[in-house]
């Protein structure tokens, strides 16, 4: 597989330093360690070693979804990948799923839901703030899933247009206020999943879900610890991301 004109590539130095660039004749990429002529990469196979004018070595490899997710433009705090993955699993999002999401934020969770719902599914995402929606749209376009997302600029508390959906996913300050609307929108057995940073939000959401007759209501927190791996020195990393948020899930019964 060779690098074509106009294609995005990842210039990889190490796990802490890499850049997404576009292979293009006459275009140069500047780093603090020298310059790369991006035209010289066109026509070469992926995996080619590239050197800057100051001798920094990097590999030219294909760009994938996670590369874009790590660099998503943001106006809000994005949900971490570990939480995005378990939310998508708990919501049972799969090819063909119809999903309602609130709020869109920077679109990181939206993009993952859409990726799993494609090719025949769709994500309807509600956001109140136009500036957030503009940023999210650009991110979704970069990640190649914009065609599977319907973006709505409105307060979800005013109502959910969609009916008989497979899942409702909430990332908002007052999710308990939407539980009744979510139940009306869900098909029988459909799943509601909510992400909240504080436990008092969880308490209100769980009580409302139980009061509205949701089944199998559960709450979890997912912690992830990374490791430094080196011969005779392997140990957990000294710094880790601790609490990010709580996830509540349940089914319409």
Domain with residue 52: its CATH number is: 3.10.330.20
pLDDT in tens, 168-223: 999 999 999 999 999 999 999 999 999 999 999 999 999 999 999 999 999 999 99
Query: 234 and 152 in one domain?
Result: yes
Query: 200 and 157 in one domain?
Result: yes
pLDDT in tens, 209-224: 999 999 999 999 999 9
Query: 132 and 21 in one domain?
Result: no
Query: 107 and 55 in one domain?
Result: no
Mean pLDDT over all residues of the chain?
94
Per the structure, the complete domain to which residue 40 belongs is given by 8-63
Which of 63, 80, 109 is the C-terminal boundary of a domain?
Answer: 63
Query: 108 and 50 in one domain?
Result: no
CATH assignment at residue 243: 3.40.50.150
In a domain, 169, yes or no: yes
| Mean pLDDT across 137-143 | 93
Would you say residue 240 has pLDDT above 70? yes
Rounded distance, CA 93 to CA 83, Å?
Answer: 14
Query: 140 and 20 in one domain?
Result: no
Question: The pTM is what?
Answer: 0.87
In a domain, 1, yes or no: no
In a domain, 242, yes or no: yes
pLDDT of residue 76: 65
Dihedral of CA atoms 64, 82, 147, 10 in degrees, nearest 10, equals: -20
Burial pattern 29-59, b for ≥16 Cβ within 10 A else e, equals bebebeebebeebbeeeeebebebeeebebe
């Amino acid at each position: 597989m060779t690098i074509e004109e106009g294609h995005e590539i990842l210039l990889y130095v190490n796990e802490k330093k890499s850049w997404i660039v576009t292979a293009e004749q006459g275009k140069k990429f500047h780093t603090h360690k020298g310059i790369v002529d991006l035209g010289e990469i066109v026509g070469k196979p992926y995996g080619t070693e590239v050197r800057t004018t100051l001798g920094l070595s990097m590999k030219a490899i294909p760009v994938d979804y996670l590369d874009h997710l790590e660099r998503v433009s943001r106006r809000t705090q994005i949900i971490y990948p570990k939480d995005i993955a378990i939310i998508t699993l708990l919501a049972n999002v799969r090819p063909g799923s119809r999903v309602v999401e609130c709020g869109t934020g920077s679109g990181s969770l939206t993009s993952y839901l859409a990726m799993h719902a494609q090719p025949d599914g769709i994500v309807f995402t509600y956001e109140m703030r136009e500036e957030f929606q503009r940023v999210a749209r650009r991110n979704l376009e970069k990640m190649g899933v914009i065609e599977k997302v319907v973006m709505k600029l409105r307060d979800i508390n005013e109502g959910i247009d969609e009916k008989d959906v497979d899942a409702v996913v909430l990332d908002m300050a007052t999710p308990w206020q939407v539980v009744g609307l979510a139940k009306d929108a869900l098909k029988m057995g459909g799943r509601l999943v909510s992400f909240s940073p504080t436990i008092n939000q969880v308490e209100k959401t769980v009580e409302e879900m139980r009061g509205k007759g949701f089944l199998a209501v559960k709450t979890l927190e997912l912690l992830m610890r990374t490791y430094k791996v080196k011969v005779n020195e392997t140990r957990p990393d000294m710094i880790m991301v601790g609490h990010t948020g709580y996830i509540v899930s349940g089914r319409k019964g």
